[in-house]
Amino acid sequence: MPIKRTALITGASAGIGKTFAAYLAKEGYQLVLVARRMDRLNDLKHALELQYQTRVEVISADLSDPLTPAHILEEIEHRGMSIDFLVNNAGYSKNQPFAEAAWIEHANEIQVMITAVTELAYRVLPNMKARSWGRIINLSSLAAFAPPTTSMLYTGIKSYVLNFSQALDMELKPHGIHVTALCPGFTFTEFHDVMGTRAQANKLPNVLWMQSEEVVKAGFDAVMKGKPVCIPGLVNKTIASGSKILPEALRYRLGRDSHLFD
């Protein structure tokens, strides 16, 4: 029996991460699932092990703790596994004025979506390089292409993830490692509930929304083909292209006046 490849997915207790877990199990991967809500991870583990006869390990971890990425990789080694496929997915957005939030909230956002993303990629690379095979998907967002928005640390964070993924892909392609920034637009998950903007999000037209299954399939296909950037869906692709050609002053005004989640 061929040895199965192993995928590490952060933020697997809900939304896009949970969908990635099911997709990669179906594709024949063993899984390591990370999030804070252990009850949800355990339910998912049992369901996927039963359905796909694959090994699923769960690790309860808070990625806002700077020690977490190293701890996750130690735990994986301890369980006799090593990572071939990383999905850096855990994330969220706050909807509050920058100057009014406590610093710890900004520090946590940066830790979860920039530092942990970067460190986990760094820590899985030695084994991927040794095997001359690896796949990394980093969840960016359509927000990385859209105009900067009032009070949102999030657009800057996702711009970093986009840029970092492209740079990493350039360095690692010659080693058989593909890196893709997956940049979804509005996707049906718990994201807007956590952000506290569900009522506003529900008013957006249907055409702007995608199912997490479509997003995950697009991201998986892109990383396997070696595409460094994946914007799923025609509508999102059109928004990203349109936004790129706008003059900077107009982008600024659009961002300032959009009041998307006020």
Q: In the complex, which residues of this chain contact ligand NAP (CB under 6 A)?
A: 11-17, 35-37, 62-64, 89-92, 112, 139, 141, 184, 186-187, 189-191, 194
Q: What are phi and psi of 181, to 5 degrees?
A: -90, 115
Please give the Cα distance from 47 to 56 (Å, whole number).
10
Please give the Cα distance from 149 to 254 (Å, whole number).
8
Give every CB contact of residue 253 below 8 A, 6+ residues apart in sequence: none
Closest of 153, 134, 99, 109 to residue 29, by C-alpha: 134
CA distances from 252 to 15, 46, 146 (A): 31, 48, 10
Q: What angle is formed at CA 239 by the lines to CA 215 and CA 211, rounded to 5 degrees?
A: 20
- Nearest distance in Å: CB 7, ligand NAP: 15
Please give the Cα distance from 13 to 71 (Å, whole number).
19
Residue 19, both tokens: 């969908």
Reduced to 3 states, what is the DSSP secondary structure of residue 11? coil
